[in-house]
Amino acid sequence: MTQGREPQVYAAGVKELWQLPDDRFKAGSVIHTLGYPLPPETFGGGFIYGMAANVLDIGMVTGLDYKNPTTDPHNELQRMKEHPAVARMLDGARLIRYGAKAIPEGGLFAMPRPCADGLLIVGDSAGFLNGMRLKGIHLGMKSGMLAAETLWEALQADAFDRETLASYERRFKESWAYAELRTARNFHQGFHNGLLPGLINAGLATFTGGAGFGFINKLHGEPGYARMKKMGWQPKETPRAKIDNVLTFDKLTDVYNSGTMHEENQPSHLIVSDTNICRDRCTVEYGNPCRSFCPAAVYEPLFEKSDGKFEGRLQINFTNCVHCKTCDIADPYQIITWVPPQGGEGPVYTGM
């Protein structure tokens, strides 16, 4: 399904809902930010949305093609809230919900082929997200509508082979959804070398129909996990937010506010194919970045050095999982697989 396509690039979105004491932030108001508090070499930004009933949505999106293995998307949201302008918005407010989700930002050329024998792919799985506008719900809905039209045609013909279902891709290319995604096709890739080149590329894109540095067609990318540098590149820990449990919170407190629940005695739905790699290689080479990239404190490396080598085990607190799939995407060895949990448990998405 991905043959001939660019590698998909993802970002981790970490989000909190706050109950405001008054109407200081009007429903329908939108703020998007770029960069802060991330370093210039890391793609990302924040969002703040005013919702009904004086609820404020605030979140941080961190590109999972970062270089520093100590990058922590949850921590970046807490640091964003420490900014005086944001802290004033939340003065006297109360945290009511938390969640996280990985989003596909590779753009048009990273979208997989959307059909196969007996199969259509829609929504995020098919890459229907405009990274430039940080919007995807409307595109996901449109993909579902196009899929429904295709399936109606297939039902009438009683044929569900790839040739019949290929009209889904044709419908997409003839729709406004394709036109919109084409104008944003090189947005994320433009930030490959940092914030300033990315901004220049985005500016050029407004005059070139989305091409930017890609000129006629496309900028090439690479899988996000492949860009993570080993600890020798930057051993210094990224700055940490000061946790006060009023404005800023640790991961376990936010997990509680996600409402996530899993039966303790079921098999873990987070499968690490070789934990020896975690102990013998990842500890030395990357410092176990699973401690940082997971926004729910699922991974707890319990390794200690003894007689020149590391011993111990990887504790997987799978009941904390908020089902963002960041681990499956960001692990530099690609040995973590997220599968649906037994019984379908997980976080509460009410209001998210």
226 in helix, strand or coil? helix
> Domain residues of the chain, as ranges?
108-224
What strands, in cross-sheet order, belong to the sheet with 55-63? Answer: 30-32, 44-51, 55-63, 10-19, 94-104
Distant-in-sequence, close-in-space partners of 117: CB < 8 Å, separation ≥ 6? 160, 161, 162, 165
In 3D, which of 156, 103, 131, 147 has the Cα closest to residue 212?
131
**Helix ranges restricted to H, the chain:** 73-81, 84-89, 137-157, 162-165, 167-173, 176-183, 195-207, 251-258, 275-277, 283-285, 290-293, 326-330
* Helix, strand, coil fractions of the chain, as percent rounded to 5: 35, 20, 45
Higher pLDDT, 2 or 104: 104
Cα 342 to Cα 262, 267, 271, 339: the distances in Å are: 9, 7, 13, 9
- Contact call for residues 245 and 85 (beta carbons, < 8 A): no
**Arithmetic mean of pLDDT, 305-316:** 87
- Residue 57: name the closest of 21, 22, 96 by CA: 96
pLDDT, the chain, mean:
92
Q: How many CA atoms lie within 13 A of 229 on its CB side?
A: 12
Per-residue pLDDT, 1:
73
pTM for this one?
A: 0.91
pLDDT higher than 60, residue 294? yes
| pLDDT for 234 | 55
With a cut of 70, say whether residue 233 has pLDDT above it: no
Q: What is the number of residues in the chain?
A: 352
Tell me which amino acid residue 181 is: L
CA atoms within 13 A on the CB side of 335: 14
Instruction: Examine the pLDDT at 44 and tell me if it is beyond 60.
Output: yes
pLDDT of residue 48: 97
Tokens of 137: 């719900």
Dump pLDDT digits (tens) for 169-205: 999 999 999 999 999 998 998 888 888 888 898 888 8
Give the pLDDT confidence of 49-104 residue by residue, as tens digits: 999 999 999 999 999 999 999 999 999 999 999 999 999 999 999 999 999 999 99
| Count of helix runs (H) and strand runs (E) in the chain | 12, 11
Residue listed under structure tokens 């009438």: 156
Contact residues for 87 (Cβ-Cβ < 8 A; gap 6+): 81, 247
pLDDT one-digit tens code per residue, 106-132:
999 999 999 999 999 999 999 999 998
